[in-house]
Amino acid sequence: MMHDQLLRQSAQLLETSGVGIPIEGRSILNRTGLLHFCTLTTSIIFLTLSLAMSASAQGSFSTGDSELEKWIVEPKLRFDEWLDDQRPSLEIAFDLSMRIVEKSGGSGTGHVNWVGIDLIDRLHWDGFPIATILVQAYAVEVRDLPATPIIFDDSRDWQLQWRFVYLDFDRWSHKGISWKVGHFQVPFGLEWTSDTTGTLRQYTNAKNLGVKADWGMSAHGTVDGLDYEVSVTRGSGNEYRDVSDNHVFAMRIGASPGHNLSYGVSYFDAQLTGQDAPVGMSTFPKPDRVRYGVDARWNFPSFQLLGECSRGTNDDLDVWSALLEANIHSPDERNLAYLQTVGSATKGVSDWDERVQAHLGVKRLIGPSLSLEAQWTHDLELPGNALLGDTGVLQIRYRF
Amino acid sequence: MHRYSMHRYLRICTAMITVVLGTPLRIAVFLGAVFLGAVFLVPVSLVHGQVAAEEPSGRLVRPDRTAPFCSSPNYAAQASQLFSELEFDDVVEVNFLINDQLRKRIQADLGADYLPYGLLGKHVMYFPVTKTKMPIGMMHFRKMAGSKFGLVTVGWRLDLQFNLVDFMVEGRDPATIEIMNIRNELNEKFRGAGSEQLKSWLEDGTAQLSSLGKRDLEVEHLNDGVHDVLGIVVYLARLTRTSAKLRFSEQKVTVSGNEIHEPSMADHILHFVSIPEALIEQVVDLQKVASSELKAACATVKSQKDEVLSEIHCESISASRLIMSGSSEPYYSVDSRMQLVGTLSIRWIVNPQLELIGVHVLGSSADMSEEVKAMERSSLERHIGARLIPEAECASGTRILVNRVLTLCQIFKKADH
């Protein structure tokens, strides 16, 4: 019944506009764009499936026993065994990745390459564990990206990036309290419940909050089935910088994401440095930010629905942000396909400046080290008169 | 969010869905993509955890590294749920590596042709402990692919003799909640189940509950989702118990005969494995005998006229006092090594009456076969109940070892008085 209604509504909209769907006097989805959308969607799915299938077809490759992999990985395996004898709690992994970015409009092909080290260890005192130490240091190179993040000085440059670097004093985690200090993820929204480090699938924190990970400290734990984290951080992002009164206060409380239906509420109050614009933005004009957010995750067999929305202010301007995601995954969660729509808007002088994008992506883990990801982004609406376009990204990542 | 603007966002989302699905052609394209996804993307690894258990484990030689360490879960907080009736002060984590060698031993012990894909690599055993670091049990967690809802996390609590005590299961599958609701009833069945019985509750080599398993666990009336998840719980019960037993009831011994340094908690656990089960709950503290006291005691044994006794190898001996709640006098544990075809590391437990009450093979060097080890174990266990025989010149080789240990304990006891 509802489906029929939606179909009728859609048909009416198409007929009314003649060429597309009229929203506030503008056509944001015309027929050509939609055909483009469908064609590219199908192409990307085919392309990624072909890649995944060809890799999967090589049994030795998928199990990590190929001669090439043995040659690359065997010294590391011997090192791991030695390390286990020396210090069983210490683990080190190397992370290599190449990302290819292609944007419509003839801006050329861009690349993001990185090599990183991922280290975790448990610290003990008098036989008792007192803290977990995590260090993720990455050398990141960018080349000719459609929008170069402002932390890079040039369109061809490299930077040392700290993903997470922290000490988590978790001795009393069984009593519901731990204390984290260092560079860690700001607790807000869906991003907090998902692993998005180095993945194409992202949620809204980087663009919406202006900071995804930050230097500072937090209290976190689980009490009566509710996960919580409350943090106070510097508000300077990748690098620690004390500019004036820059700070971030953020918190999230929610039901465990391991359950069938999980949900959370978040709060964010920040005075950012205004120096590191979020990815995809060339300037960062409004560093004083407040957000109230809710998020939820609902699970069905092989299928998940996720939603997040927040509202608040950038300085004295009203803003909102929303995300809807539907994904399918294999039972071992090594294969994932998702469709996201992400919207955000800032109240301008007379109207809202809106940005709405759709992301379609797939991810496949192959064997113990390799992951392949592809994502296609379609602009549905951009602020001002910016041209709508498409962006395709492919990523190959190898961790060992 | 501003109502008007939010409304517009929702309209965009709705429009996208309705337009993509709005014509037969697009429905066909969409369904085609979904079909291809269903045919190629998902089933390539559909029920990967279940199916991977059917892959020859010899092909998988290294641990999964695809996830960054920041996403590694820590389950210490679950101790309050699994050990709710007991008091503990801390949760000590001991990392252990399941390498190719240990995996083959697990496989042999289980009598399994196949093992799941995620077995290799680092694992963590959690030990809730008292203020004096006395462990009250252990718990271990694993994830395994369910049938539909993604990964299922199962935590098993074991006692210090590696018996199943309690479990928890968590996941997006609503069946996990149903299972947790009947957890107490299931625990009664699990506690009395041996390895072979657990095996019989599963279809051969898989994590699927057999009809016998459904009947014995009295879950025949429940839905297939519950059976699927319960199959994983049973499968991981066997796997957890075996891997814990193989890792924490033995010590690593090099071919040269040296024990590899163990974390203090792993060493503690070894004591509890060695102590007769009836005494475990009485142990309140372990006090290592100081090296100076040990040296002096050893020198005393060496200086004795009895030539057999005086051949003791002091450098390979260590000892501890076991402080018991019900006894004013300590029990003793003495570790020594025996050179045969390879090296055997042995722990002897002696009561205050200087009677040998336990012998435990801590480990053996890689050049000693499992058969030789088993034979020696059985030979040593025959001496349980032995007391000191002065001047036992005609005693067998292993009886001489027992005499040396009891003589040492006699010296420790004199020092205690």
ipTM above 0.85, yes or no: no
**Closest-approach residue (CA) in chain B for A45:** B33
What length is written for chain B? 417
Cβ distance of B74 and A365 shorter than 8 Å: no
Residues of B with Cβ-Cβ distance to A47 under 8 angstroms: none
Looking at residue B299, its pLDDT comes to: 84
Burial string for B39-76 (b: 16+ CB within 10 Å, else e) reads ebbbebbbbbbbbbbebebeebbbbbbbbbbbeeebbb
Is A7 near chain B, with CB under 8 Å?
yes
CA distance B298 to B315: 9
Q: Does B72 touch chain A (CB under 8 A)?
A: yes
Contacts of A89 in chain B (CB under 8 A): 93, 95
Cβ atoms of A40 and A361 closer than 8 Å:
no
Predicted pLDDT of residue B291: 85
What is the pLDDT averaged over residues A261-273? 93
B99 at A interface, C-beta within 8 A: yes
Does the beta-carbon distance from A53 to B44 stay under 8 Å? Answer: yes
If you ran DSSP here, which 8-state letter would residue B342 be given? E
Q: What is the DSSP letter of B252?
A: -
Which positions 99-158 of A are in contact with B (Cβ < 8 Å)?
118-120, 122, 127-129, 132, 134, 136
Task: List chain A residues with CB under 8 Å of B1.
Answer: 309-311, 320-322
Q: In whole angstroms, what is the distance from residue A47 CA to residue A62 CA? A: 19
Confidence label for A311 from pLDDT (cuts 50, 70 and 90): very high
Phi, psi of A266 (to 5 degrees): -135, 155
Mutation for testing the A interface, residue in B41, B75, B98, B151 having most A CBs under 10 Å: B41
Contact B72 A49 (CB under 8 A): no
B150: left (phi over 0), alpha (psi -120 to 50) or beta: left
The verdict on B288 touching A (C-beta cutoff 8 Å) is no
Say which of B4, B44, B65 has its CB closest to residue A400: B65
User: How far apart are alpha carbons A144 and A106 in whole angstroms?
Assistant: 12
> What pLDDT is recorded for position A216?
96
Say whether residue A313 is in contact with chain B using an 8 A CB cutoff. no
- Going along chain A from its start, the domains and CATH numbers come out as 5-399 (2.40.160.10)
pLDDT of residue A1: 41
pLDDT at A277: 57
Measured in angstroms, the CA of A101 and the nearest CA of chain B are apart by: 22
Nearest-CA neighbor of B148 among A260, A195, A194? A260
pLDDT of the residue at A287? 79
The residue of chain A nearest to residue B49, with distances taken between CA atoms, is A332
Q: Do B174 and A260 touch (CB under 8 A)?
A: yes
Better pLDDT: A25 or A108: A108
Contacts of B262 in chain A (CB under 8 A): none
Report pTM. Answer: 0.80
| Cβ pairs bridging A and B (under 8 Å) | 268
Nearest residue to A280 via CA among A386, A361, A181: A386
Beta carbons of B93 and A88 less than 8 Å apart: no
Q: What confidence score (pLDDT) does residue A34 get?
A: 53
Does the distance separating the beta carbons of B264 and A127 come in below 8 Å? yes
CB contacts of B18 in chain A (<8 Å) are 6-7, 9-10
Q: What is the mean pLDDT of chain A?
A: 82
* Cβ pair B20:A34 closer than 8 A: yes
Model confidence pLDDT, tens digit, residues A82-129: 898 888 889 999 999 999 999 887 778 899 999 999 999 999 887 788
Q: How far is B300 from chain A (nearest CA, A)?
A: 33
Q: pLDDT higher for A15 or B94?
A: B94
Residues of chain B with pLDDT under 70: 1-61, 117-118, 252-264, 305-311, 390-397
pLDDT at A58 over 50: no
Contacts of A305 (CB under 8 A, 6+ apart): A297, A298, A324, A325, A326
Lowest mean pLDDT among A308-322, A359-373, A377-391, B383-397: B383-397
β-pairing verdict for B151-158 and B164-171: antiparallel
Sign (positive or negative) of CA dihedral A188, A192, A198, A201: negative
- Among residues 203-262 of chain B, which lie with CB inside 8 Å of chain A? 260
Burial (0-12, 13-18, 19+ Cβ within 10 Å), B370: exposed
Instruction: Find the helix or strand (DSSP H, E) in which B382 lies.
Output: none
Upper half-sphere CA count for residue B407 (Cβ side, 13 Å) = 27
Residue B94 forms contact with A (CB below 8 Å):
yes
What single DSSP character describes residue B56? B
